[in-house]
Amino acid sequence: MDRPAALDIATCERARLARDARFDGLFFTAVRSTGIYCRPVCPAPAPKPSNVVYYANAASAAAAGFRPCLRCRPELSPAVQQGLEQETVRRALDLIHDGFLQDAGVASLAARVGVGARQLQRLFVAALGVTPLQLHTNQRLLQAKQLLTETALPITDIALAAGFNSLRRFNDAFLDGCGMAPSAIRRMPRRVQPGDGLRLRLGYRPPLDFGLMLQFLRRRMIPGIEQIDEDRYRRVIGPATRPALLQVSADPGRSELLLQLDNVDPRAIPQVVRRVRHMFDLDADLQQVHATLASEPLLAEGIAQRPGLRVPGGWDGFEVAVRAVLGQQVSVAAATTLARRLVVAHGHPLDGMPEGLDRLFPAPSVLVDAELEAIGLPRTRAATLRALARACADGTLEFSAGQRLDAFVQRCVALPGIGPWTAHYIALRALGQPDAFPAGDLVLQQMLGSPGKRLTERQTEQRSQPWRPWRAYAVLHLWHLSTPFTGTRP
């Protein structure tokens, strides 16, 4: 396990010596002489090559007995959720990153992805060098390390946020995994002081065009729930019994976004972080994406113009799905107006919150029997929304991680009024499916066709095959390359 076969040692060596941020999270450098593992971007003096061992992930370095560096802080590295050859491992890894093992065991995880528990263990060790449980345990310890370093939360709250119901168990696990007690990290010099609020750093592999992402989201902003300007995203989040505010902005000096949380339940922090990372596509490896798409001249042009373009996700799957249905056959502006009316009529009002951030998006159960025609929806589209709400309320349709794209699309199109275009759009933004591709999209057909003649849906699908598994990124590039990009997509 010292040198996983998936790693190209020569590439790792060059990236380490160059401190290349594009490789952050794609491998970790362990140093035998110090017993520490680091990110490729670690600013510490480079160790001798003879002392270096490369690991594909932080968990495998920790399993080999190395502890995380206090200087470069491996907990800030973006995750690797894409590019693995084995689909079963990819889906299970997505579920682990989404917190599945917090409340379930490995046997349940294996059943979820359709294999036996022992087979899943073997697949993980072969692909990643660790078992699913080792990866999950290391993930939550690194989350705790970040909270200890960057916040003034009490250690008891941090233990709860990391999924430990016993402070003693948390202390023991942290000491074993990180080489020091939580209280020792808390005693280290920190910029955070009690009362400053909760502020976390979220790393990504550059490039990221944050302004372009905000522009996309701003066109689709739902007043009452979101506030988006040129350099920050703000949102109110639930539950209604304890609403919280989040704000996301860019760090101008680092490949990081800054997440600020006010009044959040500490136990909800890992889920909030996961959702923000999904929303801004922070775990993407654009090197892989661009290497696949650049063989198409049109997409190569898009990459040259917008190298930091990513797939904008949504905060909540049901919200994205509703927004997609509202946007059928109307402009973005019209769909946004309908969404605003929906929230005013059926959203949950919140007392004591700032103006413009004082509503929660309506739950599926609220819309099952709602008179949606009253907000200006045609009768057929109102019926589609009620059917969607009913499917989400009874669990027929859900938006958890680790789903197969084809299975999700099949469940969507089984609902009245939802076709492949809407299903793929929902998969693209709600699930972050990197290969979602709405081949029936008029703009895609026009962009890929010849002047005055657009492709058919079948031809568009065939044209996209060489871009798999990154077709969602091709979609965004083609939409932005349309002259002009009118923002007509929901």
Asked if residues 411 and 396 have their Cβ atoms less than 8 Å apart, the reply is yes
Q: Is 304 exposed, middle or buried (0-12, 13-18, 19+ CB in 10 A)?
A: exposed
Q: pLDDT at position 6, please?
A: 58
Number of neighbours of residue 363 by Cβ within 10 angstroms: 18
Structure confidence by residue, pLDDT tens digits, 332-356: 999 999 999 999 999 999 999 999 9
Q: pLDDT at position 382, please?
A: 97
**Amino acid residing at 199:** R
Question: Would you say residue 311 has pLDDT above 60?
Answer: yes
Reply yes or no: is the peptide bond before residue 239 cis, omega within 30 of 0. Answer: yes
Cα–Cα distance measured from residue 423 to residue 445, given in angstroms and rounded to the nearest whole number: 17
Alpha-carbon distance values, 353 to 189, 236, 356 (Å): 34, 9, 8
Residues 6+ apart with CB under 8 A from 102: 136, 140, 163, 270
Q: Which CATH class is domain 87-186?
A: mainly alpha
User: What is the percent of the chain with per-residue pLDDT over 90, rounded to a whole number?
Assistant: 90
Cα–Cα distance measured from residue 458 to residue 199, given in angstroms and rounded to the nearest whole number: 48
Cα–Cα distance measured from residue 385 to residue 56, given in angstroms and rounded to the nearest whole number: 44
Kindly report whether the global pTM for this prediction surpasses the value 0.85.
yes
Q: Give the least confident one: 19-28, 188-197, 378-387.
A: 188-197
Catalytic residue among 12, 24, 38, 283: 38
State the pLDDT confidence band at 190, using cuts at 50, 70 and 90.
confident
Q: Give the least confident one: 1-10, 220-229, 335-344.
A: 1-10
Catalytic residue among 94, 285, 435, 441: 441
Residue, of 189 and 269, whose pLDDT is higher:
269
Fold designation for 9-76: DNA Methylphosphotriester Repair Domain (3.40.10)
Question: Of 81, 63, 37, 64, whose CA–CA distance to 135 is shortest?
Answer: 63
- Cα dihedral 259/260/264/269 (nearest 10): 20
Q: pLDDT at position 41, please?
A: 96
State the pLDDT confidence band at 487, using cuts at 50, 70 and 90.
very low
DSSP string for residues in 139-202: HHHHHHHHHHHH----HHHHHHHTT-S-HHHHHHHHHHHHSS-HHHHHTS--S--TTS-EEEEE
Structure confidence by residue, pLDDT tens digits, 365-408: 999 999 999 999 999 999 999 999 999 999 999 999 999 999 99
Cα–Cα distance measured from residue 109 to residue 121, given in angstroms and rounded to the nearest whole number: 11
Helix (H, G, I), strand (E, B) or coil at 138: helix
What's the whole-number mean pLDDT along residues 226-252? 96
Asked if residues 432 and 311 have their Cβ atoms less than 8 Å apart, the reply is yes
State the pLDDT confidence band at 81, using cuts at 50, 70 and 90.
low
Q: Residue 23 is encoded by which pair of tokens?
A: 């490789």
Asked whether this chain's domains 9-76 and 198-283 adopt the same fold, the reply is no
38 given a catalytic annotation: yes
Q: Is 484 exposed, middle or buried (0-12, 13-18, 19+ CB in 10 A)?
A: exposed
For the chain, first and last CA: distance in Å? 47
Cα–Cα distance measured from residue 417 to residue 388, given in angstroms and rounded to the nearest whole number: 9
Domain boundaries, the chain: 9-76, 87-186, 198-283
Asked if residues 229 and 221 have their Cβ atoms less than 8 Å apart, the reply is no
349: phi then psi, degrees, rounded to nearest 5: -70, 145
Q: In this structure, which long-range contacts are made by residues 109-115, counting pairs with CB atoms below 8 Å and at least 24 apart in sequence?
A: 112/402, 113/88, 113/402, 114/88, 115/88
Question: Would you say residue 484 has pLDDT above 90?
Answer: no
Q: In this structure, which long-range contacts are made by residues 479-483, counting pairs with CB atoms below 8 Å and at least 24 apart in sequence?
A: 479/443, 479/444, 480/212, 480/302, 480/305, 480/306, 480/309, 481/298, 481/301, 481/302, 481/305, 481/447, 482/443, 482/446, 482/447
Question: Of 80, 97, 300, 293, whose CA–CA distance to 205 is shortest?
Answer: 80
Structure confidence by residue, pLDDT tens digits, 252-298: 999 999 999 999 999 999 999 999 999 999 999 999 999 999 999 99
Q: pLDDT at position 451, please?
A: 87
On the CB side of 49, CA atoms within 13 Å amount to 8
Q: Please report which helix (H) or strand (E) contains residue 383, including its range.
A: helix 379-393
Overall residue count recorded for the chain in this entry: 490
Question: Would you say residue 145 has pLDDT above 80?
Answer: yes
CATH of span 198-283: 3.30.310.20
DSSP bridge pairs for 201: 258
Please give the mean pLDDT across all residues of the chain: 93
